[in-house]
Structure 1
Amino acid sequence: MENKPVFLSGLNGIRTIAAIGVMVSHINLALNKFNIINISLFGFNEEGKPGGWLLGEHGVTMFFVLSGFLITFLLYKELEKTGTINIKAFYIRRILRIWPLYYLYFFIVVITIFVLYGSLPSISTFLYYTFFLANVPFVTEKALLALDHFWSIGVEEQFYLFWPFLFLFFKIKLKKVILFLITVLALFRIFIWYKMPFSLIALYSVVNRFDCMLLGALGAILYLEKSKIIDFLNLKWIQYFSWVIMLLLITNQLNFFNSIIEIFLIGFVTLCIIIGQINIKNRVVNLENKIMSYFGQLSFGIYVYHPLLILLVSHFFKNTNHLDEMIYTILVFGLIITLTILISHFSYFYFENRFLRLKSKFSIIHSTNSNV
């Protein structure tokens, strides 16, 4: 039993919701590239352009909270088992999970842009993406085609540059440190948006959501320490509340006047749903099933590949005007989603898995994303 891998029920389902939300939202936002001007699944903005899906907008926040929870859960278990954290092994595991697909996709995009448009990124832009600083060109609106979404991977990798050291250094006082950091980051974000709205520093404060990962980390520690706060988050009415918010996101009905408040709310709701899934007892919606598990395994690939497929499909279909617009829209969504899933499937099982299997050699606490 000691060597049995850690399995947290339902987390693949959360990954699935977040990844598909982001993908569908991005396809809808790109409908103009297909000369589809009268149809939008989520309405139109003030400029007459297709609107985004609120679930897609907050899918990244869900990923951040989930990542902070899971990685901190495993670090806590490792510290509990060995009394320390193997920093080198931690970073090797991160490299094996993120780098192969990250750099493969980056290479494919650079080659694709060169073939289609005859251009290559500048040295500075190339370096931003090479060293996981994609949030910089994203905020300054200089992101490469099909690489806008890499900002979130950059933010996550930047967070994990210091997180295991912080975890190891503070140990006992870690909860207080996390609360302090979350409070400082939140107050700074509110202050800077009040004083300098839409400035670069204000935009960076929203994009660099370290507080979302810290919230997930705090949740993991409280869960492992069997805190009464976790019992509260697992109450039926809290779970129902969380899923009502999620349903409003899925149906595009949740609109707040302030995006900062939305980030706090979605982070809290995601943590509650995580707790509800792994505790099982008061689970309102069961996300642990074969379909959700399958798409959860593919979620990183779905998130990474879909912008390139939007670009390629729009490039080859932009002059398709003879079809009925509704049929054309269905074709666009169906083709991009199908291709994304197919490519993500082959990527996961025949490329990513080669590196994921190596992770076990560097894992002190073994984990699995399938219930075996």
Structure 2
Amino acid sequence: MGIPTVHESPTGPRFYRPELDVLRFLAFVMVFAVHADVASTPILKAISESGRGGVCVFFLLSSYLITELLEREDAKTHGISLRSFYIRRALRIWPLYFLALLLARLIDWHVPHLQMSNGRLLASVFLVGNWYTYFYGFPASFALVLWSVTVEEQFYLVWPSVRKFLGSRALLLVSILTFPVSYAAIFWLCMHARLERQFWVNTFVQIQFFGLGGMLALQLKGASPRWPLAGRALLFLGGLFAFFVAQYFFHHSGDMSLVRNAVPEYLLLAAGSVMLFFSVLGMARLGRATFLVYLGKVSYGLYVFHVLGLRIALRPASLLVRRMALPDWEGRIIQAALGLMITFGMAHVSYRYFEAFFLRFKERFATVKTREV
């Protein structure tokens, strides 16, 4: 028996799913939990660190939305403008990305031990920062999270050209082929690499989540399943549980150089990402949660600035812990709470007074209108 679906016209005047902005905010919260590091027991640590799956959700969402927009553009205009696509992506991603790199460099001058090397800066400027991290490790700089932005930029380099010149069927085939490519890369890394980061920041490993997003867009064709609330809750909890199992049983407690650990971990991350996606897709009431939707709207800034927010919060949190003689775990919670508030403030200011200028300009190149600025 099929799942009832709600279909949307592929040539509608605007494509926007606010419930996916809420999922985007959830993905940020998961990543924030990893870097906040407030857990005090192995189980709690595995729960918080399972939030790394939020990065996979970001990748899936990005691919789903980009693929859907490409399909709608082709249906509307009988073609795809690569020039307009890359202008839109540059105006959305580059201003904040390069601002973060500039801030990281300015901080270098005042806090030498957080310095970003010239080589890393150059790699980041040319959008291959993830590969620099692959070889040399994560930086001490707050810009350590920008590796994932460079992975997305590499995805943008290929995806629209495949759709424009080869069509939807070829893009679906490429989406499917991302899985053998990803798991071939994982097998190779199990034999030749020994460091977990070499799996995590590797474009060829992460490409499976872009493939998933592409397959979902091409198969759903603008439709969304009408799940009952109980079914959505089960999918949501199942997605979170899949992330936890991946972290606790295969990552946290295992050797990532073993195929029996690496392959199940990434399969669970893929399954969890899809379950979380379906748990919210088409959930109209979630799309009416305006505050959560707004937080998803500014999630790029939240993601870029959250490590900086946590570091700014460290000093006042430490002073409070010493003054009130609080245990260390309470200090970490205070730092996380304060860091989250600081991050919200920075992301809001960034979006309203910096990003919005470029986003309004970006709308001039939009064939299919999306959310309003």
For normalisation by structure 1, the TM-score amounts to 0.82
Kept in 2: contact 1:87–1:164 (CA 8 A): yes
Kept in 2: contact 1:97–1:355 (CA 8 A): yes
Distance change (3 Å), C-alpha of 1:238 and 1:100: same
- 1:189 pairs with one of 165, 185, 190: 185
In the alignment, structure 1 residue 136 sits paired with structure 2 residue 145: no
Residue matched to 1:107: 102
Question: How far off is 1:120 after superposition?
Answer: 5.4
- Give the secondary-structure state (helix, strand or coil) at the position aligned to 1:366: coil
- Between the two proteins, the alignment pairs up a number of residues equal to 349
CA distance in 1, matches of 2:209, 2:307: 24
Deviation track 1:202-225 (CA, whole Å, cap 9, x = no partner) reads: 565477511101210110111117
Residue matched to 1:157: 153
- Give the secondary-structure state (helix, strand or coil) at the position aligned to 2:144: coil
Q: Bigger shift: 145-154 or 306-315?
A: 306-315
Deviation track 1:17-44 (CA, whole Å, cap 9, x = no partner) reads: 011111122011xxxxxxxxxxx42524
Residue matched to 1:329: 332
Residue matched to 1:43: 41
Matches within 5 A, 1:192-211: 192-198=188-194, 205=202, 208-211=205-208
CA distance in 2, matches of 1:253, 1:170: 36
Residue matched to 2:67: 72
Residue matched to 1:309: 309
Residue matched to 2:3: none
CA distance in 2, matches of 1:212, 1:348: 27
CA distance in 1, matches of 2:275, 2:114: 46
Which structure's residues are more often helix, by fraction? 2
Residue matched to 2:256: none
Question: How far off is 1:61 after superposition?
Answer: 0.4
Question: How far off is 1:298 after superposition?
Answer: 1.6
In the alignment, structure 1 residue 344 sits paired with structure 2 residue 351: no
Kept in 1: contact 2:309–2:343 (CA 8 A): yes
Deviation track 1:42-100 (CA, whole Å, cap 9, x = no partner) reads: 5249xxx9667144211100000000001111011001111111001101111111111
Kept in 2: contact 1:248–1:254 (CA 8 A): no
For normalisation by structure 2, the TM-score amounts to 0.81
Residue matched to 1:169: 165
Higher relative contact order (CA 8 A, sep 6+): 1
Question: How far off is 1:166 after superposition?
Answer: 1.0
- Give the secondary-structure state (helix, strand or coil) at the position aligned to 1:77: helix
Matches within 5 A, 1:1-372: 4-28=13-37, 40-41=38-39, 43-44=41-42, 53-117=48-112, 121-139=116-134, 140-198=136-194, 205=202, 208-224=205-221, 239-248=232-241, 255-257=248-250, 258-280=261-283, 286=286, 288-314=288-314, 321-323=322-324, 324-325=326-327, 327-368=330-371
CA distance in 1, matches of 2:353, 2:159: 31
CA distance in 2, matches of 1:211, 1:250: 16
Distance change (3 Å), C-alpha of 1:142 and 1:15: closer
Question: How far off is 1:144 after superposition?
Answer: 4.5
CA distance in 1, matches of 2:198, 2:345: 39
CA distance in 1, matches of 2:113, 2:301: 27
Kept in 2: contact 1:242–1:270 (CA 8 A): no
